[in-house]
Homo-oligomer: A and B are copies of this chain.
Amino acid sequence: MGLMISGGTVLTMSPRGLIREGGVVVEDDRIVDIGKTTGLKRKYPSYERIGAEGKVVIPGLINTHTHAAMSLLRGYADDYPLREWLERWIWPLERHLTGHDIYVGALLTSVESIMAGITTVNTMYHYIANENEARAFSEAGLRGVVGHVCFSWRKEEDRKALRSLAGDWHGKAEGRIRVSVDPHAPYTVDPEYMRELREITRDLNESHGSPEAPITWHTHIAETEDEPEKIKQAFNVTLKGGVVEYLDSLGVLGKDILAAHCVSLTERDIKILRERGIKVSHNPVSNLKLASGISPVPKMLREGVNVSLGTDGASSNNVSDMFEVMKLTALLHKGASKDPTLLPAEEVLKMTTINGAKALLWDKEIGSLEIGKKADLVILDFNKPHLRPVYNETSHLVYSARAADVDTVLINGRILMEKRELTTVDAEKILEEVERTKDNLLSRLASEG
Indicate if the CB atoms of A335 and B385 lie closer than 8 Å: no
Q: Say if the beta carbon of A53 comes within 8 Å of chain B.
A: no
A321-347 to B contact mask, C-beta < 8 Å, 1/0: 100100110111011011111011100
Tally of this chain's copies: 2
Of B319, B337, B343, B399, which one neighbours A386 at CB under 8 angstroms? B319
**Residues of chain B with a CB closer than 8 A to A339's CB:** 291
**Residues of chain B with a CB closer than 8 A to A287's CB:** 335
Q: Say if the beta carbon of A115 comes within 8 Å of chain B.
A: yes
Q: Say if the beta carbon of A90 comes within 8 Å of chain B.
A: no
Q: Say if the beta carbon of A372 comes within 8 Å of chain B.
A: no
Per the 8 Å Cβ criterion, residues 44-99 of A in contact with B are: 72, 74-76, 78-82, 85
Per the 8 Å Cβ criterion, residues 92-109 of A in contact with B are: 108
Q: How far is the CA of A115 from the CA of B392 in the complex (A)?
A: 23
User: Given contacts A290-B340, A294-B335, A390-B435, could you give 19 more A-B pairs where the C-beta distance is less than 8 Å?
Assistant: A72-B389, A74-B400, A75-B389, A75-B392, A75-B399, A81-B340, A111-B385, A116-B386, A288-B331, A288-B334, A289-B399, A292-B335, A293-B338, A318-B396, A319-B399, A321-B386, A383-B431, A385-B427, A389-B438
**Residues of chain B with a CB closer than 8 A to A383's CB:** 431
Indicate if the CB atoms of B344 and A396 lie closer than 8 Å: no
A residues engaging B (CB < 8 A)? 72, 74-76, 78-82, 85, 108, 111-112, 115-116, 285, 287-294, 317-321, 324, 327-328, 330-332, 334-335, 337-341, 343-345, 383, 385-386, 388-392, 395-396, 399-400, 402-405, 427, 430-431, 434-435, 437-438
Instruction: Give the nearest-CB partner of A78 in chain B.
Output: B395
Indicate if the CB atoms of A291 and B111 lie closer than 8 Å: no
Of B293, B344, B404, which one neighbours A79 at CB under 8 angstroms? B344
